[in-house]
Chains A and B, each alone.
Chain A
Amino acid sequence: MVHALREACRVLKGDGLLIDLRPAPVHRHVGISENGTYVKVGVMREFLSDDRSANGAVAEMINSRRLRLKMRTRFECIRTMDQLSDFKARLDELVQLGKGSSHDWLLRRMKETLASRASDQRSRRRKIIMRGPMDLRVLIKTE
């Protein structure tokens, strides 16, 4: 990661901006949004070690005075899925990328929650929601 940051600094003009935008190292909440209401179904258990390593790499670049932190902010970001199969694909991707273990328990819980709500009311506006904060860091090249 430090090597990637050094490469980025190499191609940046003097005083150029390096922007690091990525999901904050916290576990995402998963739920269902329907007719303006949100029902939480569970909290994911992703592996966060890569994110912490990335934070360490950025800190190392700041400490070595190659980059200076100009600003940082955190904001909400959601991902929406129409179908249970879309949700399953995201969970499978997490395992494939080595960013989490199996979330079959969460898939099962989502399936049950969807089934229980379907008996009450059917809505085409229902979405599966994955939500969590994003971190945005803006750094200035200093060398």
Chain B
Amino acid sequence: MAYRIDPEKNEIKALKQVTNWRNKRVLEIGCGNGRLTRRLARLGAHIHAIDPNADLIKRAREALPNSYASRIRFNVGKSTKLSHPNEVFDVVLFAWSL
């Protein structure tokens, strides 16, 4: 791969210390191509991941393994106008996006 972010996986190591992610309902804001989303799904989280960039969301969907398909949903969306009802997520993660 030509360009890799955090090959040492220090981000996910730090996030693992924050909470038990199993079965947590997570909103990830600024998911990009889904790099971190897939790593969180591996920890057992159910994630709705949004990003304003439609191209990146398309790439994230293409790279989504079948094994995570039931746990991850990718959508184009903005942090300032969320379409979700009140009080539905256990965790909101701003991933390089605040």
A and B assemble together: yes
> Pick the contact of A22 from B6, B89, B96 — CB < 8 Å?
B96
Q: Does A43 contact B (CB under 8 A)?
A: no
Q: Once the chains bind, are A16 and B89 in contact (CB under 8 Å)?
A: yes
Interface size band for A: 35 or more
Do B92 and A18 touch across chains, with their CB atoms under 8 A apart? yes
Task: Tell me if B82 and A10 are in contact (CB < 8 A).
Answer: yes
Q: Is A136 within 8 A of B79, CB to CB?
A: no
Interface residues of B in 16-69 (CB under 8 A from A): 17-19, 27, 29
Q: Choose one: B2, B27, B79, B97; the contact of A81 (CB below 8 Å).
A: B2
- Determine how close the nearest CB of chain A comes to the CB of B39; give it in whole angstroms: 12
The stretch among A34-42, A68-76, A100-108, A112-120 that forms the contact with chain B is: A68-76
Residue in contact with A4 in the complex, picked from B3, B4, B80, CB distance below 8 Å: B80
Q: How many A-B pairs with Cβ below 8 Å?
A: 119
Is B14 touching A73 in the complex (CB atoms < 8 A)?
yes
Task: For B89, list chain A residues within 8 Å (CB).
Answer: 11-13, 16
CB neighbours of A4 from chain B (8 A): 29, 79-80, 94, 98
Is there an interface contact between B7 and A23, defined as CB atoms closer than 8 Å?
Answer: no
* Most chain B beta carbons < 10 A, residue from A4, A20, A76: A4
Distance of A142 Cα from B82 Cα, bound (Å)? 20
* Bound Cα distance A12, B3 (Å): 34
Q: A4-B79, A4-B80, A11-B84 are in contact. Are A136 and B14 (CB under 8 A)?
A: yes
Chain B residues with CB under 8 Å of A83's CB are: 2
The CA of A17 and the CA of B25, in the complex, are separated in Å by 11
Report Cα–Cα, A14/B2, bound state, in Å: 42
Q: Is the CB of A21 within 8 A of B3?
A: no
Nearest chain A CB to B84 CB, angstrom units: 5
- Distance of A34 Cα from B55 Cα, bound (Å): 33
20 contacts between A and B (CB under 8 A): A1-B98, A8-B29, A10-B86, A11-B82, A13-B88, A14-B87, A16-B89, A16-B91, A16-B92, A17-B90, A19-B15, A21-B14, A71-B18, A75-B14, A77-B6, A79-B4, A80-B3, A80-B7, A82-B2, A138-B18
Q: Which residues of A contact B (CB under 8 A)?
A: 1, 3-5, 7-8, 10-14, 16-23, 54, 57-58, 71, 73, 75-83, 86, 89-90, 134, 136, 138
